[in-house]
Amino acid sequence: MTNASVSRSGTVASHAPAKLIDPARFGPWALVTGASSGIGREFVRQLAAHGINVALASRRLSELEALGHEIAEQWGVEHRSIEVDLTKADFLLTIDNATRDLDIGLVISNAGDFARGEFLTVERERLHAMVRVNVLANLDISHHFGQRLVARKRGGLVLVGAALAASDGVPFMANPAATKAYVHSLGRALHIELAKQGVTVTVLMPGTTATPALEKLGIDVDKLPTKPMGVEQCVSETLQALNANRAAIVPGQPDSASLHGVPV
């Protein structure tokens, strides 16, 4: 099932925060997948605060609509809500049909899937679903929208990975960690390949962040040695890294990307 809707508010926009990105370069529209909660939702809010219209994509249309109306009222931007399941083979067609008429200057490929457990105890179809969302969806989105961004000779692509440890393997999260290693490698390479075309690619590698994912993983926040990072800081540092043409960002550790051979 797919659905899409458009809304615009005439409400006077509120003042945007300190400039983190250049709307002329990364606007007038952005696409955010996994936009209904967590880091994706915060990307939508901060982009809207900079006057960038946002196409919001996820499986939960009602939550997208609520968020879209919120940003339209608060910042006077347009929004488009796209109900789509990234595990489906035709997901890219759904997104393309809903955004073909938009001048998209920024893509935030944020949607992800994960599950804890011993590798051999997780059903194979569940493992495949994680690969479809974390690997194939990032591949398809990067390839399709990379071509659109190159054609306009400016813009940006943010791929959301995971903590640096994912590249080294994470016991009891072997498959999701492996899929995020793909995201890291793809993004680092595209940062070099697309730079000469005027397109910036940045990989976001968040550590422990205060999102619904913590509850899904069964993590007791009160027992963590340090308080999880807020989504506001995670997103604002990522937008600054994108604007500065950095290949990767670990929020809270601005120089950590260089430890893994990532040009900054």
Residue 132 sits in a domain of what CATH number?
3.40.50.720
Instruction: Report how far residue 124's alpha carbon sits from residue 72's, in angstroms, rounded to the nearest whole number.
Output: 42
Task: Tally the domains of the chain.
Answer: 1
10 in a domain, yes or no? no
264 in a domain, yes or no? no
- Which pTM was predicted? 0.86
Chain-centroid distance, C-alpha 217 = 19
21 in a domain, yes or no? no
Q: Are strands 3-7 and 79-83 parallel, antiparallel or unpaired?
A: antiparallel
73 in a domain, yes or no? yes
2 in a domain, yes or no? no
46 in a domain, yes or no? yes
Range of the domain at 193: 26-258
139 in a domain, yes or no? yes
- For the chain, residues with pLDDT lower than 70 are 1-18, 164-167, 208-229, 254-264
211 in a domain, yes or no? yes
